[in-house]
Amino acid sequence: MKYVDEFRDRDKAAALATEIEKLACSIEGGSTPIHIMEVCGGHTHSIFRYGVEELLPARIELIHGPGCPVCVLPMGRVDDCVAIAEQPNVIFTTFGDAMRVPGSRKSLMQARAEGADVRMVYSPMDALALARAHPDREVVFFGLGFETTMPATALTILQADREAIDNFTVFCNHITIIPTIKAILDSPDVRIDAFLGPGHVSMVIGSAPYDFIARHYRRPLVIAGFEPLDVLQSIWMVLKQIKEGRCEIENQYARVAAAGGNVAALQAIARVYELRPFFEWRGLGSIDHSGVRLRPEYARFDAERRYAIPNARIADPKACQCGEVLKGVLKPWQCKVFGTSCTPQTPAGALMVSSEGACAAYYQYSSAKQRTGARG
């Protein structure tokens, strides 16, 4: 297929749904649910937007995983962002969906309303351009995301190094997908039979890093694209593995994600970053080696070294159940505050802020009746 509308063909989707129904019925276990986690928030968004769940048999239960980097950002790190943004002479730059994530006191959006110079950018190179244009100001870029966005930040730092730009730093909150999946698999309250692997991350890291999931944990994983036919075909591929008693890493998204990943991107990542001993995740707690920081040779570009920040661990509001939703223990609509005190206009938790968050996706694509009546 060459065009995007071919990946949204209604007849092909119906045919795939029929084949999925047949496979699900033929797998041993009768009516026992088959739990499939889509790791990436982009998949969650597509599933809700195109009504993929409605095409699946009742036995297939999709679990919406932690693959939205804004959603797993703990409140303490948001507080650190605000503390840097409120420093005199600082221009704090960030992607748009991070501006409204609530901290314990305020969001970056609220800090901007109170006078902090917080600006939305589309890439770290935009932030570097601001540093060139304002040599008398300190420009900080909020580096956020999985391996998908790591290379862009790394290449920007290398460019700043080449140009000897000394008023540019990065507040690094980049995180890694593999330790996260391992932490989920080791969690005693999570039941997962298979995974849909993140397509964008896999475009960078390739398929080999997932081998331990099949080899050690005996779970199939299929790297999936983001169109509805991609998701449906990937679910079919997962079920076929389960039916045949196989546990392998397969790549449905081979048209974009090469088996070996992106060599240039991986080289930039290895050159600029090193693993942190541990990193705090919202809803998942501290996960060893799940975040990166700048290597000592690039310390002059590290905002954590240049600015004093609170660096405090802040518990989520008691009513907010983002953690349980992130791990797949609860569906979005089962949260106590979903659709009432927590909406996209008044988000109580990060899953409602980001467009890739499971709560925001469900709220956006479900009806008003579903939003207010699905709990219970």
Q: pLDDT digits over 243-254, tens only?
A: 999 999 999 999
Q: pLDDT digits over 281-304, tens only?
A: 877 788 999 999 999 999 999 999
Write the DSSP string, 163-210: HT--SEEEEEEEB-HHHHHHHHHH-TT---SEEEEPHHHHHHH-SGGG
- The least confident of 67-81, 88-102, 310-324 is 310-324
Q: What percent of the chain has pLDDT over 70?
A: 96
Q: Give residue 321's pLDDT.
A: 83
Measure the CA–CA gap between 217 and 15, rounded to whole angstroms: 32
Question: Does residue 118 share a domain with residue 60?
Answer: no
Q: Give residue 330's pLDDT.
A: 82
Measure the CA–CA gap between 352 and 199, rounded to whole angstroms: 22
By C-alpha distance, which of 175, 172, 174, 176 is closest to 84? 172
By C-alpha distance, which of 232, 253, 251, 252 is closest to 16? 232
Residue 298 lies in a domain: yes
CATH number of domain containing 14: 3.40.50.11750
Question: Does residue 154 share a domain with residue 183?
Answer: no
Question: Does residue 242 share a domain with residue 93?
Answer: no
Residue 271 lies in a domain: no
Alpha carbon 33 to its chain centroid, in Å, reads 25
Question: Does residue 212 share a domain with residue 356?
Answer: no
Question: Does residue 102 share a domain with residue 36?
Answer: no
Q: Give residue 318's pLDDT.
A: 76
Question: Does residue 166 share a domain with residue 195?
Answer: no
**pTM, to two decimals:** 0.90
Tokens standing for residue 94: 């960030």
Q: Give residue 361's pLDDT.
A: 84
Residue 328 lies in a domain: yes
Maximal CA-CA distance, the chain? 68
Residue 356 lies in a domain: yes
Question: Does residue 188 share a domain with residue 168?
Answer: no
CB atoms under 10 Å from CB of 144, counted, come to: 23
Q: Is the pLDDT of residue 368 over 60?
A: no
Range of the domain at 334: 322-365
Q: pLDDT digits over 221-230, tens only?
A: 999 999 999 9
Question: Does residue 136 share a domain with residue 58?
Answer: no
Q: What sign results for the dihedral spanned by CA atoms 23, 27, 33, 37? A: negative
Under a CB-based contact definition with an 8 Å cutoff, are residues 219 and 184 in contact?
no
Name residues whose C-beta falls within 8 Å of residue 262's C-beta, 6 or more positions apart in sequence.
151, 203, 204
Question: Does residue 188 share a domain with residue 98?
Answer: no
Question: Does residue 143 share a domain with residue 23?
Answer: no
Residue 314 lies in a domain: no
At 272, the amino acid letter reads V
Name residues whose C-beta falls within 8 Å of residue 113's C-beta, 6 or more positions apart in sequence.
none
Question: Does residue 90 share a domain with residue 43?
Answer: no
Question: Does residue 102 share a domain with residue 44?
Answer: no
Residue whose token pair is 């770290």: 124
Tally of domains in the chain: 3
